[in-house]
Structure 1
Amino acid sequence: MADRAVRDAPLSRPWAWPMAATCLLLAGCTARQGDFLHPQGPVAAEELHLLVLTVLWMLIVVVPVLVLTPLLAWHFRRGNSRATYRPQWEFSFWLEILVWGVPVLVVLVLGVLAWTQTRRLDPYRPIASRSVPLKVRVIGMDWKWLFIYPGQHVASVNELVLPVGRPVQLSMTSSTVMQALFLPSLAGQIYAMPGMRTRLNLLAARTGRSFGENTQYNGMGFQDQRFPVRTVSPLQFHVWVEKLRSSGQMLGSVQYAQLSRPSVLARPESFGAVEPGLFRAVIARSCPSCAARLRERPASAPDKDDHG
C-alpha cells in the first residue's frame, strides 16, 4: 500500500516535475501596469508599435529556421531510405536566393523602419498641441530624482505628477554621475549628464499610475532610485500644485545641498517654493561655460520663461 501511494503521488509521475518547474518560473511573469506593454501616451505607444513590427519582421527569418531544422534532421536521418542521397550536390540557384535574399530584405526593411521612426521619435522633437507645454526641470542625484516645475514655482522629490492632455518638456541634468531616466509607459529612456542638459518630450493620454527609474548604475542605492509617476486631470494637477504651495517649504541652495547628499528617501518630499536659477546653478557647478551659454540665450529662445 505504501509503495502504491508513492507511485500515485502527483510529483512521482514523469511529467510532474517539468510542469512544476514551469509553473514556478512563470509565477514571476505577471503583467505590471505602467510598463512599456501598457503605454499611457502617444510616444510610448509608437515605441511599442515599432518594437512589435521589428519582432514580426525578424520572425520571418527565425521561425523557418526553428521549424525546418528539426524537420530536415528527421527527413535526412540515417534510417529514412526515401531521403535522396546526393554526395555531388553543391549549388542551387533558387536556394541561394532564398537563403540570402530573405535576410537582406529583412535587414533593408528594419533599416528603413529604424531611420524613419528614430527621426519621428526624436526625444527633442516637441509634441504638436494647442496647449502650452508644461516644463519640468529634472535633476538626478544619489539616489533620488528632483523635479522642479518652474512655471508653478514648486518642486517634488521622487514623485512626478503630470496633467493629462498637455505636452510635457523635461529638461534633465545630473548633479553626480551620468544617469538614465526611464519612463517606460510614457516616453522610454534618455540620459542625464552632469554639466549638460538633455530633453525629453512626452504627453500623457490617460490618467493612471506608473513608475520611473534610473537604469544607469550609480552606486549602492541604485536599486532604490525609483519613483511613482501619476498622470492626473488638469484640475487634480492644479489641486496638487496648490497643496505643495501651502506647505511653505522652500527649496534654496542650503536645502538643495542637504538634499543632494547621497541617501535614499523613505517617502517623496515636496517644496512649495523654489529659488530662481537653481537648475542652472547645478549645471554651472559641473560646467561653468555651459551655464554661461544658457545665460546668453536670446530672448526668442524656447526657454526664455525658464526661471528654474
Structure 2
Amino acid sequence: MATSMPERSRRVRIRNLIFFKALPLLILPLLLSGCSMALMDPKGEVGSEIKSLIITAFWLMMIVVVPVIVMTFLFAWRYRNTNYKAKYTPNWAHSNVIEAIVWFVPLVIIAFLALITWQTSHSLNPNVPIEAEEGVEPMEIDVVALDWKWLFIYPDLGIASVNEVAFPVDTPVNFNITSGTVMNSFMIPRLGSQLYAMAGMDNDLNLIAGEEGVYPGRSTNYSGAGFSEMIFKAHVTSQDEFEAWVEKVRQAPETLSFEQGYEELAAPTIDHPVEYFSSVPAELYDNIVQSFKNGTAVQPGHTGGHGGQHAAESAGHDEGHDVAMSAEVAE
C-alpha cells in the first residue's frame, strides 16, 4: 500500500532531525584534529603525573557517563511509541533500589576522585624541589612576565634572554616567577603545571624535562591586547649544547640592569623578537620584585591605576594626611 504524504513528511522530518543532531559528532573529530594535545604528550616527570591524573579521572567519570548514554538510547528504543510489548506502568513513582544505585555509585566515584586529586596535587606541589640524580646540579632561572613578553634571567650565569629559555635535559629547574606588570600565568604544557606571575610576589615552579626538544610555552592568563602573542620556546638540550647556547648569549652586545635597559624592555610590545643580554646583575629579579613594595616599579605605557606610580601617589597622600592629622592634634 502506498505511503501517505503525511507519513512520508514525518519520516523526512525524523531523518533530518537525526542528521542535524549527529552532525556535531561528525564535525568534532575534524575540529579536534587542530589541537596539539600537549598535555597528553608530556616530556617530563611532572607532565607525566598530570597526564596520569587526567586519564584516571576521565575513566572514573566514564563509569557514570557510559551507562547513562547507553540507557538513554536503550530506554528510548524500549519504550518507543510502537513497542506494545513494553510494560506500561503509569502509576510508578519510586524505587529504593534505583535511588540507591543512582546516589551510591556517583558518591563512591567522587570519593575516589577527591582522594587521588588530593594526593596528586600535594605530590606535585610546584614549590617542592625535584630531586636530582647523583652528579646533576639543579638550575635556577628567574622569570619575569612583561607586556607582552617573557624575560628569563640566569642569576648564576649573569645572562638573560627574552622569549627563549634553555636548560639541559634531566636537570631539575627551579623557576622563580614574578611579574613586572599585571598578573599573568606561566606554563610549558609538555613539561606540566602552570603558575601565576604576580607583581611584587615571588612564586616557585619546579620542572624537569626527560627528553631533548623545543617545547612551546605561553601565557595562560588574559593580560591585555598582546596576550595571544605572549609565547616563548623552551629549548631542552644536552649539557654541551646548553653550554654552547650560553656562550652565544654571552656574545650579545646588549646588557641589562634595573637602572639601564629594563624600563625600555618593560615597555609594551607585541610579538617581541628573541633577544639576548650578555651581562645582567644577579639582583635584577629581586629589584623588580621589591620595586612594587617600595613604590619604584617601572610601568611604562600604563597610566593611573596600578604599579609603582599608584603606590607612590598613595604613599604621598597618606604622608600628607598624617601631617595634617598631627597638626590638628597639636592645636
TM-score interval w.r.t. the shorter chain?
A: 0.7 to 0.9
Q: Which residue pairs with 2:110 in the alignment?
A: 107
Within the candidate set 252, 259, 283, 2:289 is matched to 283
The answer to whether residue 91 in structure 2 is matched with residue 88 in structure 1 is: yes
**Counterpart in the other structure of 2:184:** 179
Secondary structure, in 3 states, of the residue corresponding to 1:136? strand
Residues 256, 262 of structure 2: 8 Å contact kept: yes
- Residue in 1 aligned with 2:316? none
Bigger proportion of residues as helix: 2
Q: Deviations over 1:61-87 (max 9, x none)?
A: 111111101210221123211111223
Whether 1:200 and 2:187 are equivalent positions in the alignment is no
Does the 8 Å CA contact 1:196/1:287 hold for their aligned counterparts?
A: no
Q: Is this contact kept in 2: 1:250–1:275, CA < 8 A? A: no
Cα shift readout 1:114-154 (whole Å, capped 9, x = no counterpart)? 11011011101111113221000000000000000111111
Deviates more, 1:16-25 or 1:153-162: 16-25
Q: Considering Cα pairs closer than 8 Å and 6+ residues apart, tell me whether 1 or 2 has the greater RCO.
A: 1
Cα contact 2:156–2:282 (8 A) shared by 1? no
The answer on 1:26 being equivalent to 2:30 is yes
2: CA distance, partners of 1:175 / 1:89:
65
Counterpart residue number, 1:246:
251
Aligned-partner Cα distance in 2 for 1:188–1:275: 28
Contact 1:138–1:146 (8 Å) recurs in 2: yes
Task: Kindly indicate whether residue 143 of structure 2 is the aligned counterpart of residue 138 of structure 1.
Answer: yes
Counting matched residue pairs gives 275
The 5-angstrom pairing of residues 197-276 of structure 1 reads 197-253=202-258, 254-276=260-282
Large movers: runs of 4+ above 3 Å? 14-25, 30-33
TM-score normalised to structure 1 length: 0.83
Query: Considering only aligned residues, what root-mean-square deviation do their CA atoms show, in Å?
Result: 2.4
Larger radius of gyration between Structure 1 and Structure 2 = 2
5+ residue gaps, structure 1 = 1-13, 290-308
CA distance in structure 1 between the aligned counterparts of 2:31 and 2:111, rounded to whole angstroms: 39
**Range that drifts further, 275-284 or 116-125:** 275-284
Q: Which residue of structure 2 lines up, in the alignment, with residue 39 of structure 1?
A: 42
Q: Which sections of structure 2, spanning at least 5 residues, go unmatched? A: 1-15, 296-331
**In the alignment, residue 243 of structure 1 is paired with which amino acid?**
K
Q: What code does the residue aligned with 2:289 have?
A: I
Residues 50 and 272 (structure 1), Cα distance of their counterparts in 2 relative to 1, 3 Å cut? same
Confirm whether residue 52 of structure 1 aligns to residue 58 of structure 2. Answer: no
| DSSP-derived class of the 2:195 partner | strand
Q: How high is the sequence identity, in percent, across the aligned residues?
A: 35
* Cα displacement (A) at 1:248: 4.0
